[in-house]
Chain A
Amino acid sequence: MLNGISINYYILLSAVLFIIGAVGVMARRNSIIIFMCIELMLNAVNLLLVAFSTLHNDPSGQVFVFFIMAVAAAEVAVGLAILSMIYRNIKNIDTDLLSNLKQ
């Protein structure tokens, strides 16, 4: 097959994107950047779902991606509302300062 790209490359690309997102969650302190890295991880998974859907010629995978997008939109709306409320209360969104539950 001349035009084909091995599914292994898609798995590798998705793994790399996912891990960049995971490292971003671990290495940053700004809550908004952490949120964006979570979006990056969701997108890596979406890309792999679409790749497998094309591999098996089955539209269910693409419908799943559709649902993941809807859930991600809901998650972002609620998460950003929570973050803006936190910012209003403590004037900061540094994750290290969000330790009120510990005390």
Chain B
Amino acid sequence: MLLGYTITQWLFGILSFLAIMFALMVVFSRNPVNSVLYLVMTFFCIAGHYLLLNAQFLAVVHIVVYAGAIMVLFLFVIMLMDLNEESEPQRSWLNKTIAAIAGGMLLFVMVGSLKGAGDLQLNQMGHSDIGLVKNLGKVLFKEFLFPFEIASILLLAALVGAIMIGKKDIK
């Protein structure tokens, strides 16, 4: 107990603050390479949230898939295109202001709509083990077996599609 808050609440606050700050940096950073690196940091913070929520397997998968695979793909493409601060197109201030106002109004509506929700507490430090590989695997291969197989077909189709699109000249 520090200053009346538990360790979990402190961790939640710190991780949330970092995630939001890094997310803002993604949007405001001029250099696309910096944006990618800030997004990786955001993903690490979200993985910390998953750990806090007793979703250990998802936290590991999140780091491997997002920080390890997807963001490296982004980085490769950005470096392939040789994007930097000078070549970065900028929207006019009017457009940016309109975007900020629209986002603020959307946040207002979302926060307003959750005011009526009850104050349900999460039992994070409980001995809930639904996030472990064993239990998640049982659910995945019993209840969600068909969607799992469909997902593999989707990934295969995406693989073939990406190669076909990326080819220089299609005979």
**A residues within 8 Å of B by Cβ?**
1-13, 15-24, 26-30, 32-33, 35-37, 39-40, 43, 46-47, 50-51, 53-55, 57-60, 62-63, 65-67, 69-78, 80-85, 87-88, 93-94, 96
B81 touches which of A10, A21, A59, A87 (Cβ 8 Å): A87
Label chain A's interface by main secondary structure: helix
CA gap between A71 and B36 in the complex, in Å: 20
Chain B min CB distance to A85 (Å): 6
Provide the residues of chain B in CB contact with A8, threshold 8 Å: 114, 117, 119
* Known contacts A1-B123, A66-B58, A73-B65; A28 and B166 CB within 8 A of each other: no
**B residues within 8 Å of A by Cβ?**
6, 8-9, 12, 16, 19-20, 23-24, 26-27, 32, 35-36, 39, 42-43, 46, 49-50, 53-55, 57-58, 61-62, 65-66, 69-70, 73-74, 77-78, 80-81, 83, 88-91, 95-96, 98-100, 102-104, 106-107, 110-111, 114, 117, 119-125, 128, 130-131, 135-136, 139-140, 143-144, 147-148, 151, 154-155, 157-159, 161-163, 165-166, 168
Contact between chains at A43 and B43 (CB < 8 Å): yes
Contact between chains at A51 and B114 (CB < 8 Å): no
CA gap between A27 and B53 in the complex, in Å: 32
Contact between chains at B61 and A28 (CB < 8 Å): no
**A-B residue pairs, 4 tightest by C-beta:** A4-B121, A74-B158, A26-B99, A23-B103
Contact between chains at A29 and B91 (CB < 8 Å): yes
Provide the residues of chain B in CB contact with A81, threshold 8 Å: 161-163, 165-166
Contact between chains at B140 and A36 (CB < 8 Å): no
* Known contacts A5-B12, A78-B165; A96 and B89 CB within 8 A of each other: yes
B61 touches which of A37, A58, A66 (Cβ 8 Å): A66
